[in-house]
Amino acid sequence: MLSQRTIETCVGLFLLAGILSLIILAFKVSGLTSFFKKEGYYITAQFDDIGQLKKRAPIKMGGVTIGEVTNIHLDRSDYRAIVTMRIDSRVNDIPDDSSASILTAGLLGDNYVAITPMYGSSYLKAGSVVSETHSAMILEKMIGQFLFNIDKSEKSKTGRGGMQ
Amino acid sequence: MIAQVTTLGRLGIKLLRDYGKAGILLFSAICYPPNIRKGLPLVFQQIYAEGVLSLLIIMVSGLFIGMVVALQGYHTLVKFGASQQLGPLVALSVVRELGPVVTALLFAGRAGSALTAEIGLMKATEQLSSMEMMAVDPIRRVISPRLWGGFISMPILTIIFNTVAIYGAYLVGVKWLGLDAGAFWSNTQSSVDFQEDILKGIYKSIVFGLVVTWIALYQGYHSMPTSAGISNATTRTVVYASLSILGLDFVLTAMMIGGW
């Protein structure tokens, strides 16, 4: 039987190993940095349809990641999606008439928000709302519209043919 | 005919009583925790016996499971040209599923069976009843520290298992198969979320820790006080604990899967 002192030392080392491993898991494996409040400011944008956009999706400008989506919720008054975005504080000179659009990385990739800069002279700041937005492309809707248009154009052709 | 119905009824009532006894045991072990000054050393002794001594088997199996998942995953991923995703593959499968479940299974075999055998032998040699004669509550002196010991040890063992397994994958993927170390860690970091993946895996292991120690203690405390009875109880501990780990794992995963 070991003495209580040895046992307590071993248990202490065990707990320490556990804490150390948790720290490794947190910072090395999951890249946790949200313990510390991330630098940045929050802006919102309203979209008609966000498609498959998720929290933590990147915000990109010219292909460079400048922030992430922090919250998505539904505006109950006009049934549009409100997306809250955190933009790095280093990027503090985005013109306030810029537009936000939801794009897809590759053919089957995840959605992200792209911000296209315009030429306004004042800048977006904390709490600003991006007014110019483009919804996500939804493949099913596009196919539906395409088929509908083919149908219509063929009908009008045959209709015109009948007239002549 | 009547005799069969009676047997069935007796079995049902026995089962119900067993559940009741198990519930009472858990309740009394949790509600009468050992008092801080006298009980804390006992809890430390149990963390040592259940946690520290299980460390070797947990770390070795963690290392090899991480290595073998990485090896298997690499050869499948490389067919799709996605070998860069090896880090996320191993990290997510270990942190979400393999870590908590394999640790709990090993813990049931390593510590759970020892608990049952120890308490069963205490009962068979009438140590428990002599404690009662000396006005020492065996639940407080014997059962409760063991329950807390298992409850505390299990999440820590799981965390250590996860870390060792991921480093095992790093060893195989980066040092042996020649992936880029930077891509390995950055892809892992971008797809593993601390709250969604790591913490949920730890919640699972907390539940498993409680269930495994509970089953082991119940089987020991209510075992037949004979050598055959103790051996049966030890077998039942390992079987029931493993089955309930796997069943509970499915239920917990189904509850947590929302964000995945």
Predicted confidence pLDDT, tens digits, chain B (260 residues): 889 999 999 999 999 999 999 999 888 888 876 677 778 888 889 999 988 999 999 999 999 999 999 999 999 988 888 888 888 899 999 999 999 999 999 999 999 999 999 999 999 999 989 998 998 888 888 888 899 999 999 999 999 999 999 999 999 999 998 888 888 888 888 888 888 888 899 999 999 999 999 999 999 999 998 989 999 999 999 999 999 999 999 999 988 876 55
Cβ atoms B237, B108 nearer than 8 A: yes
Nearest to B89 by CA among B64, B101, B72: B72
Flag whether the ipTM exceeds 0.95.
Answer: no
Cα→Cα distances A43→A51, A78, A128, A153, B199, Å = 20, 19, 5, 43, 29
Determine what percent of chain A is predicted with pLDDT higher than 70. 88
- Supply the angle between the helices B86-93 and B55-77 in degrees, to the nearest 10: 140
Nearest to A110 by CA among A47, A64, A50: A50
Q: Does B250 touch chain A (CB under 8 A)?
A: no
Q: Which residues contact A116 (CB under 8 A, 6 or more apart)?
A: A61, A98, A99, A100, A101
pLDDT at A92: 81
Q: Does B91 touch chain A (CB under 8 A)?
A: yes
Cβ atoms A63, A45 nearer than 8 A: no
Cα→Cα distances A60→A94, A115, B5, Å = 12, 6, 72
pLDDT at B127: 92
Q: What share of chain A is helix, strand, coil (3-state, %, to 5)?
A: 30, 30, 40
Looking at residue A120, its amino acid is G
Place of tokens 């990290």: B91
- Cβ-based burial of B162 (10 A; exposed 0-12, middle 13-18, buried ≥19): buried
Q: Rounded to the nearest 5°, which phi and psi values hold at A112?
A: -145, 165
Cβ atoms A113, A85 nearer than 8 A: yes
Partner A, chain B 2-41, Cβ-Cβ below 8 Å: 41
Q: Is the pLDDT at A108 greater than 80, yes or no?
A: no
pLDDT at A134: 85
Q: What is the mean pLDDT of residues A119-128?
A: 83
Q: B55 and A31: CB-CB below 8 Å?
A: no
Residue of B153, B157, B166 with shortest CB distance to A29: B166
Q: A29 and B95: CB-CB below 8 Å?
A: yes
pLDDT at A38: 67
Q: Does B233 touch chain A (CB under 8 A)?
A: no
The phi-psi region of residue A120 (left if phi > 0; otherwise alpha if psi is between -120 and 50; otherwise beta) is beta
Chain A residues interacting with chain B (CB cutoff of 8 angstroms): 2, 4, 7-8, 10-11, 13-15, 17-18, 21-22, 24-26, 28-32, 34, 56
Q: Which residues of chain B are within 8 Å of residue A38 when distances are taken between CB atoms?
A: none
A10: its two tokens: 């071993």
Cβ atoms B108, B208 nearer than 8 A: no
Q: What is the mean pLDDT of residues A55-82?
A: 86
Q: Which residues of chain B are within 8 Å of residue A13 when distances are taken between CB atoms?
A: 52
Nearest to B198 by CA among B246, B259, B243: B259
Nearest to B137 by CA among B26, B28, B42: B28
Question: Rounded CA gap, B213 and B149, in Å?
Answer: 9
Cβ atoms A101, A13 nearer than 8 A: no
The terminus-to-terminus CA distance of chain A in angstroms comes to: 107
Taking CB atoms and an 8 Å cut-off, how many pairs form between chains A and B?
A: 75
Mutation choice for A interface testing from B48, B56, B89, B170 by most A CBs within 10 A: B48
pLDDT at A156: 75
Question: Rounded CA gap, B214 and B63, in Å?
Answer: 28
- Max mean pLDDT among A19-23, A154-158, B140-144, B238-242 falls in B238-242
Give the pairing of strands A80-87 and A64-75.
antiparallel
CA distance A122 to chain B (A): 34
Q: Which residues of chain A are within 8 Å of residue B91 when distances are taken between CB atoms?
A: 29
Question: Rounded CA gap, A131 and A153, in Å?
Answer: 34
The DSSP-derived string for A84-110 is EEEE-TT----BTT-EEEEEESTTT--
pLDDT at B78: 87
pLDDT at A164: 45
Q: A25 and B162: CB-CB below 8 Å?
A: yes
pLDDT at B221: 92
Question: Rounded CA gap, B223 and B120, in Å?
Answer: 6
Q: Which residues of chain A are within 8 Å of residue B189 when distances are taken between CB atoms?
A: 28-31
Rounded-to-10 torsion of CA B71, B75, B81, B85: -30
**pTM, to two decimals:** 0.75
Determine what percent of chain A is predicted with pLDDT higher than 90. 2
Residue A162: pLDDT band with limits 50, 70, 90: very low
Nearest to B69 by CA among B189, B164, B187, B201: B164
pLDDT at B20: 93
Q: Rounded to the nearest 5°, which phi and psi values hold at A95?
A: -55, 145
